[in-house]
Structure 1
Amino acid sequence: MAKRYCYRDVLPFGAMVTMECINVGLNTLFKAATMRGMSYHVFVVYAYAVAAIVLLPMSLISQRSRVLPPLNFSILSKIGLLGLIGCSSQIMGYTGISFSSPTLSSAISNLVPAFTFLFAIMFRMEKVAFKSRTCQAKVLGTIVSIAGAFVVTLYKGPPIITVHSPSLSLHEPLKVINSVDRSWALGGLLLTAEYILVPLWYIVQVQIMKVYPDEVTVVFFYNLSVSIMSAVVGLFTEPNASAWKIRPDTALASILCSGIFGSFLNNTVHTWALRIKGAVYVAMFKPLSIAIAVAMGVMFLGDTLYLGSLIGATIISIGFYTVMWGKASEEMEEEVGVGNLQESPTAENVPLLQSYKNERAEKKMHGNV
């Protein structure tokens, strides 16, 4: 019992918290690399290629050690669709970060639970009864989260914390900050588009894991397809050959770390958690990244904390936890209903059966007398 609780509750929780910390760190490292001139299109190609290379031997071992259904055209086509969603999401996300900051990315990532709930309704994975209090909470929380995202995206506001780090002098910080000011709204819109695609990725991944429950193999083919698709896009967006040459500096460190800890480890853990706990559980950890991103952005990148980000993130968090409260209450009601159904035979049917047997025994005794 304790082992099952650890595997299904403690381990997924710890893994998801760790992945959020890693994701924010990878976004911060990516931002530092792009400030030195690295192309985000090239970055996506190389990072996912590194992950595919690392996963190749593990995928072969996993397929030989487990009894799995054959990889038919249907499963591969679903993985291809997953790769298309992931490729589009990553390109939009990294472009948005390069125009804005990891802090803004983490703030808007709070939209993922709300969008996951909306798509779950569309794909009939969630039941909707508007007279129910739990349903009203989920709908209200979704609307509040979307409103908060618009505040973060469209309202920057005055600076609250401004850090001037001497280590950023090599990156021309004033020029970068001015560029971020002009591109803040565009970066926010691109990041919002990314986090609309992420719930779709969750839903498609859940469907794949139902028919092919092998995380390593699925993530290998996913990373391979994203690397190929992004390479095709990169050939048009980055025709200059010099952009594809990676120097042994921050750019190389960002690619290797993102390939190993992001595209490989993060996608594998998320796929495993989706199979164990479902899409809504995975989505609920996104708000954690706000505090981590703000701290790392201020400490390592010299990011400025703006009032709009703080207000919008607060609104998003309120909406998110309203959705989660509604979801938790709904699951509790379902568990209580199932428990009552299971208890009813022992509480009512068994005594009735016993009384029926006693009555028959008494009649038999009187008959014999």
Structure 2
Amino acid sequence: MGNERFVRWLKDAKPYFGVLFLQLSYAASSLISKSALNQGMNHYIFVVYRNIIAAVVFAPFAMLFERKIRPRMTINIFLKIMLLALLEPVIDQNLYYAGMQYTTATFATAMCNVLPAITFLLAWILRLENVKIRSFHSQGKIVGTILTIGGAMIMTLVRGHVIGLPWTTKHAPQTQSTDAATEHDHLKGAVMIAAGCFCWSCFYILQAITLKSYPAGLSLTCLICMAGALQSTVLTLVVERDNYAIWALHWDTTFLAYVYNGIIRSGVVYYISGIIMSEKGPFFVTAFNPLSMIMVAIVGSFMLAEQLDFGKVFGAVVIIVGLYLVIWGKSKDVSSSKSSEDDNIALSNNKESILAKPSNEERTDDTIKIRTLDDAV
């Protein structure tokens, strides 16, 4: 009995472990990419190489494990894949990393917290998310989303007293150089990142829709990265047509950024997010996005010497409360859907049992026949 309960808990907890892994990968990606951008990495080439690496690594797995379940390619699916590649690997990634060049890793991650709100609204409009305004769990999801976004804005806008951590005070000059962007540059970077987040949200919605007609997750991931690499190459050749030096590979942080973001941030993340979306919906995947900001703020204080202040700590607490409400609301959605399924099964069983039972007239006729046989005997 205890083993069955543990297996059931582990099955229910898989999506939560999955989104935690996604947030860890996002945080690591932001820190590695920001370090590579500080060393002069070109974001156009970065997008090209990371998608090429993802396509090359995942193609053998897709051919091996999904050769029997891969649906036939149609024009409709092909157009969806090309649009998916344009939305996230091309537009979102280039806008996000171009905006990060004007800001910091923590600021860029904080701006991405508009993603849950955009995804929630789009999923609500397209009826991919179950929302009933009068139910408490739907209100919990709405309030939790507002709190997570509010907490992210607090971490971004509210400064407060600086918490003097020993490992940040030793690198105070580096912190100043990291935050040396002007207010105009911060605004430009914020607009770029916000536009990229809108494309990222549209990518999640379209991915959830595409997986219904093309359920081969590994193959879809590989095709998106292949199409993204092709489109990014064309874009780079147009924008950087006279700069051939950017195509050279260097064995430093930039190469680590190519490999990590290609294998983990593009390939593994696309595949895992698709699995989670098929069970929980696109909003669930993005609702935990503020966690990556907390991770970046903490780890960034070690790696990039970014200062922690009262605003970041208080915003992190608000984010945790908001995430708790979102998790509670989603769990109630699951329990209510299960109860409705059980009610439907019970109702169908009752109908079958009623139809199977003989009527009173049939019982009376059977009794009369039995008595007549007894009298004859």
Give the TM-score of the pair, scaled to structure 1.
Answer: 0.82
Q: Residue by residue, what CA displacement relative to the aligned partner does 1:34-93 show, whole Å, maximum 9, x if unpaired?
A: 111212222111111211222333344345x31432212211110011011102111222
Residue 81 (structure 1) aligned with residue 107 (structure 2): no
Alignment match, 1:51: 54
Secondary structure at 2:163 match in 1:
strand
Residue 234 (structure 1) aligned with residue 236 (structure 2): yes
Letter in 2 for 1:66: K
Alignment match, 1:174: 176
The 1-side partners of 2:65 and 2:116 are apart by 32
Query: Which of 236, 242, 247 lines up with 1:244 in the alignment?
Result: 247
State the Cα distance separating 1:6 from its structure 2 match.
8.4
Secondary structure at 1:200 match in 2:
helix
Letter in 2 for 1:247: H
Letter in 1 for 2:258: I
Residue 31 (structure 1) aligned with residue 25 (structure 2): no
The 1-side partners of 2:291 and 2:284 are apart by 13
Q: Residue by residue, what CA displacement relative to the aligned partner does 1:265-307 show, whole Å, maximum 9, x if unpaired?
A: 2222222333344323323432332332222211111112244
Between the two proteins, the alignment pairs up a number of residues equal to: 365
Task: Check the 8 A contact 1:104/1:309 in 2, yes or no.
Answer: no
Secondary structure at 1:131 match in 2:
coil
Alignment match, 1:214: 216
| Aligned ranges 1:84-163 → 2 under 5 Å | 84-86=86-88, 87-161=90-164, 163=167
State the Cα distance separating 1:243 from its structure 2 match.
3.1
Alignment match, 2:375: none
Task: Check the 8 A contact 2:140/2:329 in 1, yes or no.
Answer: yes
State the Cα distance separating 1:26 from its structure 2 match.
2.2
* Identity rate, percent: 25
Structure 1 stretch displaced more, 79-88 or 144-153:
144-153
Query: Which of 316, 328, 333 lines up with 2:336 in the alignment?
Result: 333
Letter in 1 for 2:23: E
The 1-side partners of 2:124 and 2:153 are apart by 22
Task: Check the 8 A contact 1:164/1:302 in 2, yes or no.
Answer: yes
Larger Rg: 2
Query: Aligned-residue CA RMSD in angstroms?
Result: 3.5
State the Cα distance separating 1:360 from its structure 2 match.
5.1
**Structure 1 gaps, min length 5:** none
Residue 256 (structure 1) aligned with residue 266 (structure 2): no
Task: Check the 8 A contact 1:168/1:301 in 2, yes or no.
Answer: no
Residue 271 (structure 1) aligned with residue 256 (structure 2): no
Alignment match, 1:294: 297
Query: Which of 204, 223, 226 lines up with 1:224 in the alignment?
Result: 226
Task: Check the 8 A contact 1:8/1:277 in 2, yes or no.
Answer: no
Give the TM-score of the pair, scaled to structure 2.
Answer: 0.81
| Aligned ranges 1:300-339 → 2 under 5 Å | 300-339=303-342
State the Cα distance separating 1:161 from its structure 2 match.
4.4
| Aligned ranges 1:55-74 → 2 under 5 Å | 55-62=58-65, 65-74=67-76
Secondary structure at 1:179 match in 2:
coil
Task: Check the 8 A contact 2:168/2:301 in 1, yes or no.
Answer: no
Alignment match, 1:200: 202
Task: Check the 8 A contact 2:149/2:319 in 1, yes or no.
Answer: yes
**Structure 2 gaps, min length 5:** 373-377
Q: Residue by residue, what CA displacement relative to the aligned partner does 1:208-262 show, whole Å, maximum 9, x if unpaired?
A: 1111111222111211222222233334544433333332111112112211222
Task: Check the 8 A contact 2:110/2:153 in 1, yes or no.
Answer: no
Q: Per the alignment, do residues 176 and 142 of structure 1 end up closer, same or farther by CA in structure 2, a change over 3 Å counting?
A: closer
Secondary structure at 1:253 match in 2:
helix
Q: Residue by residue, what CA displacement relative to the aligned partner does 1:132-157 show, whole Å, maximum 9, x if unpaired?
A: 33333333334444444444444445
Task: Check the 8 A contact 1:55/1:220 in 2, yes or no.
Answer: yes
Task: Check the 8 A contact 1:48/1:224 in 2, yes or no.
Answer: yes
Task: Check the 8 A contact 1:56/1:220 in 2, yes or no.
Answer: yes
Q: Per the alignment, do residues 263 and 364 of structure 1 end up closer, same or farther by CA in structure 2, a change over 3 Å counting?
A: closer
State the Cα distance separating 1:346 from its structure 2 match.
5.4
Task: Check the 8 A contact 1:121/1:127 in 2, yes or no.
Answer: yes
Secondary structure at 2:180 match in 1:
helix
The 2-side partners of 1:269 and 1:337 are apart by 28
